[in-house]
Chains A and B, each alone.
Chain A
Amino acid sequence: MHTEKPKNSFEPKIIAFVCTWCTYAGADLAGTSRMQYPSNVRVLKFPCTGRIDPVFILKAFQQGADGVLVSGCHPGDCHYIAGNFHARRRFAAFRKLLEFIGVDLNRLQFSWVSAAEGGKWVEVVTDLTERVRSMGPMVEFKELAMEEQWSGTIDTPELKEAYNQI
């Protein structure tokens, strides 16, 4: 019953920060309804999008995510009344900051997915995964993590070689 998975040379890592009440339930619905969506996505559950600190997104990129999805309840549906309204403003600002720093915003997606929208979850995740796949790996933050301040560097020809092969 499983369809044959296409083989790709690059499988992006997508981190999804979701709220427990809507999007997590929506993703769960997609699963129980046996809808197929890319296994590239790792879901992290939060009480509310209002709890998702922009620094988490930053950390995800730093730890090797190629794409990040933040998803929660539709406006007006927040379990805590206004968490997603606050999140909306915060992320509107944060994405502008990331853009100004030089992060390609195509790697960052925000969405509202309700508990009833299993289909929308599949669509959002598939779109983001395919888009990021076509963009290739997010190398910027990975390169930074490998870099030393000049004074602390040591001669490691084999490490350099290994790095150049990435």
Chain B
Amino acid sequence: MKTYISEQNLNTLLDTLIAEGKRVVAPRMNAGTPLYEPLASADELVTDQLPKRSGKEAFFPLCEDIMSYEKEGQKVSITDIDPARFPETVLVGVRSCDAAAIPVLDAVFSWDYKDEFFLERRKKTTVVGLACTMADDACFCTAVGLSPAETRGSDLFLTPVEGGGYSCETCSEKGEALVKSYTALFAEACSSKALPLAEPQTEKIDLQKVKGWLDNHFEDPAWDSIATRCVGCGACAFVCPVCHCFDIVDEGTEKSGKRRKNWDACGFWKFTHHASGHNPRDQQPKRYRNRIMHKFKYYDDKFGETLCTGCGRCIRLCPVGIDIAGIVEEISKK
């Protein structure tokens, strides 16, 4: 179903949702940095910058409690987190690359083990995607088979049109429900042309060819030349819309504390460090190899698609200029 919403009505919609007690998460500026964060009012919405972290945070928090414990004398009491407490959320202004990442994460978190934390948050979230109108030379969604107009992962998808406002496409029941609940704010589909969408410069990469090479080159001198420069931070994984590794830590005192789930990154030395002291990925290139392997081979082996949506964040933010698009392109030519 296609409808139209003016910019003013979109703001009214967001303000109404906020007033109703829903958490509206959208790109906003936090101390000079664009991030997906809960809005206090629709005025905060920023649509002209790609947030530095992806939208995955709405379902897969940077850090969340999974239980708490208390010890009194010999008595230990454990309190689980009640998923019913997860807030109803509307995730707004999600770029195509971030929205397309959501089904990719769904597959992982509902595979052999159903991760109730992720799935419950996911269930309670409506995703309003936004067609992308600007790209730089780090963007490569088109190279991994997506596009700035990709509606995958969105419940409602907005495309900015000439003369202001957005053409809306409902892509799921959740999206339909949102439009129905606030039907007065939506008008009939208009005939205005969509604004010119972004045009990432990278050409389509043959991902099957990349996987074919990776299948046979676990050991290869290329890894050293690619990743000796990697300094082992977690920036790439933490800004990635589809990286989903986490670590579980207990924090607190003997008397009381919490078990928490935090993002983790395969670039960290500690990621594969065994209790024995042995580390199977003892050198940085081996850790970086895992990043590429997981994205373009392991995930594909298991779920039949690529663990990368081409948002380009890791390319822009890598402190040492490691360029995953360039690496994959090169592999595809081997």
Chain A residues near B (Cβ < 8 Å) = 148-156
- Surface stretch bound by A, among B43-51, B56-64, B292-300: B56-64
Q: Is the CB of B58 within 8 A of A151?
A: yes
Q: Is the CB of B57 within 8 A of A151?
A: yes
Taken together as a complex, chains A and B put the C-alpha atoms of A109 and B321 apart, in Å, by: 46
Q: Nearest CB to that of B89 among chain A residues?
A: A151
Sorted from nearest, which 10 A-B pairs have the closest CB atoms? A151-B61, A152-B64, A154-B85, A152-B61, A151-B57, A155-B85, A152-B63, A149-B62, A149-B63, A155-B87
Q: Which residues of A contact B38 (CB under 8 A)?
A: 150
Q: Mark B274-285, 1 if CB is under 8 A from A, else 0.
A: 000000000000
Q: Which residues of B contact A156 (CB under 8 A)?
A: 85
Taken together as a complex, chains A and B put the C-alpha atoms of A151 and B56 apart, in Å, by: 10
Q: Is the CB of A155 within 8 A of B86?
A: yes
- Between A148, A151, A153, A156, the greatest number of chain B beta carbons within 10 A of the residue's beta carbon is seen for A151
Taken together as a complex, chains A and B put the C-alpha atoms of A149 and B60 apart, in Å, by: 12
Q: Which residues of A contact B222 (CB under 8 A)?
A: none
Q: Is the CB of A148 within 8 A of B63?
A: yes
Q: Which residues of A contact B81 (CB under 8 A)?
A: 154
Q: Is B70 an interface residue (CB 8 A)?
A: no
Q: Nearest CB to that of A153 among chain B residues?
A: B87
Q: Nearest CB to that of B66 among chain A residues?
A: A152
Q: Mark B75-101, 1 if CB is under 8 A from A, else 0.
A: 000000110011100000000000000
Q: Nearest CB to that of B260 among chain A residues?
A: A152
Q: Is B65 an interface residue (CB 8 A)?
A: yes
Closest beta carbon of chain B to A121's beta carbon, Å: 29
Q: Is B150 an interface residue (CB 8 A)?
A: no
Taken together as a complex, chains A and B put the C-alpha atoms of A150 and B25 apart, in Å, by: 10
Which of A148, A150, A152, A154 interacts with B37 by CB under 8 Å? A150
Q: Which residues of A contact B64 (CB under 8 A)?
A: 148, 151-152
Q: Nearest CB to that of B30 among chain A residues?
A: A150
Q: Nearest CB to that of A156 among chain B residues?
A: B85
Q: Is the CB of A154 within 8 A of B87?
A: yes
Q: Which residues of B contact A148 (CB under 8 A)?
A: 63-65
Closest beta carbon of chain B to A30's beta carbon, Å: 30
Q: Nearest CB to that of B57 among chain A residues?
A: A151
Taken together as a complex, chains A and B put the C-alpha atoms of A121 and B91 apart, in Å, by: 58
| A and B contact pairs by CB, cutoff 8 A, 19 listed | A148-B63, A148-B64, A149-B61, A149-B63, A150-B37, A150-B38, A151-B60, A151-B61, A151-B63, A151-B64, A152-B61, A152-B64, A152-B65, A154-B65, A154-B81, A154-B87, A155-B85, A155-B87, A156-B85
